[in-house]
Structure 1
């Protein structure tokens, strides 16, 4: 399964793919989590307008 880091701005209600992780292993998941933490810190000025999640990419379901 391949994962991606997705950011959603609540006002725009659109998903923005921040990063694709490729093939999943423990190291890639840890990297995605650290990148998610960095994005949260970088967007702290906007407060609660951003939601971040780690999700499987679409081709996983096909």
Structure 2
């Protein structure tokens, strides 16, 4: 049973990562369209989404 739980944890983590790759660029665009500037967006990506500075920069 432990293997099944571990399997589903891995599936969930992969799905979350794929969802992030699709959703974060849309979020960045929406923030830009609403008039937010780069420093505000970068701070949001880092603090609210838990991205590193490098990850946030890639999405920006």
Q: Same fold (TM over 0.5)?
A: no
**Normalising by the residue count of structure 1, what TM-score does the alignment of the two structures yield?**
0.40
Could you say which structure has the larger radius of gyration?
A: 2
Higher helix share: 2
Higher strand share: 1
**Normalising by the residue count of structure 2, what TM-score does the alignment of the two structures yield?**
0.41
